[in-house]
A and B are shown apart, each in its own frame.
Chain A
Amino acid sequence: MELIQLLLNGLSLGAVYALFALGYTLVFSVLGVINFSHGAVFTLGAYFTYLLIGGKAGANGLLSGLQLPFALPFALALPLAGLASALVALLIERVAFRPLRQRGADSLLALISSLGAGVILVNLIQLLMGAESYAIPIGTLASLPASLSIGGARVRTVQVLLLAIATLLLVLLSVWLEGSRSGKALQAVSEDPLTAQLLGIDSDGMIRLAFGISGFLAGVSGGLVGLSVSIAGPYFGISYGLKALGVLVLGGLGSVPGAMLGGLIIGLAEAFVPAEWSGWKDAVAYGFLFLILVIRPQGLLGRPLDTKV
C-alpha cells in the first residue's frame, strides 16, 4: 500500500491512543501510580456527551427514557461532559487515592483501589443506562465531508478532527505546564512532593488539580471517540487502557508530549503490519513496549530513572 495511506492509517489509529494517554500520563507523572479508573471516566465522558446533545436513555437501564430537557450543540456538550467527568475524577481521587496517600501506603494499593473504582463506575453505567449502544449522530459534523482525500489516500474526517484536537490539547497542556505558575508547581510536585510541600506548594491541591484535568481530558476524549465510533456500551473505553499503558511507556511515563508521540508511533507501528500478519498486530505493539522497557525504560521523552541510595 502507498506510504501516504499507511501514514494516514497510522495517524488515525494513533490519534485515539494519544488522546486517551494524555490524561493517563498526567496522573502518573504526579503520583507515580497508574489510574485504572481512567478508562471508566473516559466511557462516562462519552455517555455524558450523549445525554447533553439530547440523547435519550434506552429501555433497559434504571434511567430508562431519561432525556435532558435541552439539546446542546456538540461543541458545547463536549467541554461540559469534560467538566462532569472531571468532577467524577475528583471524587475518585478523594475516595480511592487520598486515604492511601495520607497513610503513606504503597502505590500498589492505589492501583487496586482505582481498579475497584473503575469496576463500580462501569457497572453503574450498565445499571443506569443498560448494556446497549448509543449513537452520537453522524450528522454532527454536518458541513464536513465524510472522508478527505490527501495525496490520493483516504482518511475519515472525524479522525483528522481527533488528531487536530489532540494536538491542540497537547499544546495547551504543555504551555500551561511550562508557562504558568500552577503548571510549574505541578511539575515540582511530580518531581518530589515532600520538597514541593516544604517550598510552600500545596501538594494535595496540585494532585487534585492533576486529577481534575486528567478527568476533563478523559471525558473530552470519550466524547470525541464516541463521535467517531459510537458508544458501544459500558465497556466502551476499557479496551484502550492496556494499549495506553504501552503508549505511556514508549513516550516516557510522565511526559505529556511523550504521550502524544508514543500514541502516534504505536498507531503507525500497527498500521504498518502487513495484512497477512494482522493477527500479530497486538503482539507488535506489546513487543515494542517490552523492547523499550528493556532498552530504555524512561521511554523516548521521559525523565531518566535514578536509583536513590
Chain B
Amino acid sequence: MEGFGLCARRCTALGLGWLASALTLGGCDGPDPARKPVNLSQGVPLGAVLAMSGNANVYGQDQNTGLSLALAELNGKGGINGKPLALKIEDSGSDEPGANAAFNLQINRGVLALIGPTLSQQAFSADPIAQRRGVPVVAPSNTATGIPEIGPFISRVSAQSSVIAPLSIAKALQLHPQIRRAAVFYAQDDAYSSAETTIFQKALTARGLKPVTVQRTQLNDQDFQSQISAALQQKPDLVVLSLQAVDGGNMIRQLRELGYKGVIVVGNGMNTPNIYPICQKYCDGILIAQAYSPELRSAANTTFLRRFQAREGGAIPPQLTAQAWTALQVLAEALQRLDRRQPLQQTNLAEARKALMAELLSGTYQTPLGEIRFTPEGEVIQKDFFVAQVRMDASGKSGRFALLP
C-alpha cells in the first residue's frame, strides 16, 4: 500500500499542477475582440440566442423561423448596402445558465448585436452580461416589466403585457356587457404568468370586476380539475387565463368539458397556433390581445406573409415569428443607415456597437407589427394593437386568430 500512497501523492501533485496550468492558460482570453475593427469577412455579423431545446423550445422554433425568413428577405434585397448579413443562431436551452453561456459565446465571436433571449426570465440573467460588455440587445419577445431598464444597450420590439393585456378585458366587456363575475387563473411558478396576472387583475378591478376567485397552477400541471371545480363553484361568467400555450390549452379544454359556458380571455402566452392541437374545437371563441395580427393590411406585413406562406404552405404565422422578423428588420435598417454615414469596415467593434444602439433607438420602422419606434430607454412604442378572437374550422384541427374591429 505504501507504493500506492507515494504514487497517489505524486499523482495528486501532478494532477493538480496540470489542472492548474491548463486552466490558467485556458483562462486567459485573447485580446479583446472589441478593440479590433469589425470583422466583415463573412458578412455583417449578428447573433441570435434562442431556446431551441428544453421546455421553451416551441417558442424558440417559431422565432427561428421568423429570423431565417427575414434573413432571406434582407439578403435578397442586398443586405447592408451590398454586404450580406451573417446571422449565427445559438441554442440557449430553456434556463438561465444556458442563456448566459450562449450570450458569452456570441459576444466573444464579435457580433455587432444580439437578438434574444426567448424567455423574460433568461433576459434578466443574460442581458446584464451584454450590457456590461456594451453589446446591443433587441429582444423579440420578452414582455415582462423592467427589461429595457436593465441598461442602455437593452431594447425590445415586444410590447409589455401591461400595455396589451387590458385591451382584451375591455373588448370582452364591450362584447358582453352583462359580465359580473370574473375568475382568474395563473401559473405561480412562471415569471411571465405571475407578471401578467397582476396586470389582468388590476384591469379587472379598475372596471369594477374584482375577481371572485384567483386560482393558482404550476407550469408542469396538466390536470386542472381541482382548480376548475373550485372556480366553477363561484359561478363566474368571465375566465381570465395567464398561462403558456400547453397548460392554457388544456385549461380551456377542461373548462369547457366540465361545463363552463362563459367568456374566456387569455394572455400573451397563448398567442400561438400551438394551442390548436391542445384545446382543439374548444379554442373557438377565446379572446386575446395581440401585438401582431396576420390580418393587418400593410406592405411590410404582406411581404412577411408572402415569405411565410411560401415556406410553410399556407399556414398563418404566429406572433413570435412576426416579432423575430421585426427584430432582425430593425437591426438591419439601423445598420444600413449607420453604414451609409460611417462605413462599418472603418470602425472598431466597440464603437460600432455603441453607434448601432444609438441609431437603432432613433429610427421609425414599418414592420409586420405595424409602425414602431423606441423610447430612449429601449422600450418599444407600438402604434397598433389588436384584439382577436380564435375561430376554429369545422374539423377542429386548425383555426385562425380573427381580428376584431
CB <8 Å contact, B312 and A132: no
CB <8 Å contact, A153 and B229: yes
CB <8 Å contact, B223 and A12: yes
Check: B280 CB closer than 8 A to any chain A CB.
yes
Complex: how many Å from CA A279 to CA B277? Answer: 28
Check: A187 CB closer than 8 A to any chain B CB.
no
Q: Which of B218, B282, B313 has the most CB of A within 10 A?
A: B218
Complex: how many Å from CA A270 to CA B396? Answer: 33
**B226 / chain A contacts, CB cutoff of 8 Å:** 9, 13, 270-271, 275, 278
Check: B217 CB closer than 8 A to any chain A CB.
yes
CB <8 Å contact, A5 and B61: no
B61-104 interface (Cβ within 8 A of A): 61
CB <8 Å contact, A156 and B257: yes
Number of interface residues of A (CB under 8 A): 45
B37-63 interface (Cβ within 8 A of A): 53-55, 57-58, 60-61
**B312 / chain A contacts, CB cutoff of 8 Å:** 59
Check: A120 CB closer than 8 A to any chain B CB.
no
From A126, A159, A275, A279, contact of B225 by CB (8 A): A159
CB <8 Å contact, A126 and B233: no
**A153 / chain B contacts, CB cutoff of 8 Å:** 229
**B58 / chain A contacts, CB cutoff of 8 Å:** 131-133, 233
**B243 / chain A contacts, CB cutoff of 8 Å:** none
Contact-residue bracket for chain B: 35 or more
Q: For A59, give the chain B residue with the smallest CB separation.
A: B312
CB <8 Å contact, A235 and B55: yes
Complex: how many Å from CA A157 to CA B246? Answer: 20
From B53, B189, B245, B313, contact of A133 by CB (8 A): B245
From known contacts A16-B223, A59-B312, A155-B225, infer whether A229 and B258 are also in contact, taking CB-CB under 8 Å: no
CB <8 Å contact, B258 and A147: yes
**B223 / chain A contacts, CB cutoff of 8 Å:** 12-13, 16, 159, 228-229
**B233 / chain A contacts, CB cutoff of 8 Å:** 1
Q: For B189, give the chain A residue with the smallest CB separation.
A: A279
Q: For A123, give the chain B residue with the smallest CB separation.
A: B53
From B60, B227, B229, B257, contact of A146 by CB (8 A): B257
Complex: how many Å from CA A126 to CA B53? Answer: 9
Stretch at the interface among B106-114, B248-256, B285-293, B329-337: B248-256
**A155 / chain B contacts, CB cutoff of 8 Å:** 225
Complex: how many Å from CA A282 to CA B216? Answer: 12
From A131, A134, A147, A271, contact of B57 by CB (8 A): A131
CB <8 Å contact, B229 and A1: yes
A1-31 interface (Cβ within 8 A of B): 1, 5, 8-9, 12-13, 16
Q: Which residues of B contact A (CB under 8 A)?
A: 53-55, 57-58, 60-61, 188-189, 213, 215-218, 220, 222-223, 225-227, 229-230, 232-233, 245-246, 249-250, 253-254, 256-259, 274, 276-278, 280-282, 312-313, 315, 396-397
Q: Which residues of A contact B (CB under 8 A)?
A: 1, 5, 8-9, 12-13, 16, 59-60, 123, 126, 130-135, 137-139, 146-147, 153-157, 159, 225, 228-235, 239, 270-271, 275, 278-279, 281-282
Known: A131-B60, A278-B217. 18 other contacts (CB 8 A): A1-B229, A132-B58, A133-B246, A133-B278, A137-B397, A138-B396, A146-B257, A154-B229, A154-B232, A156-B254, A232-B278, A233-B55, A271-B226, A275-B215, A275-B216, A278-B226, A279-B188, A279-B189
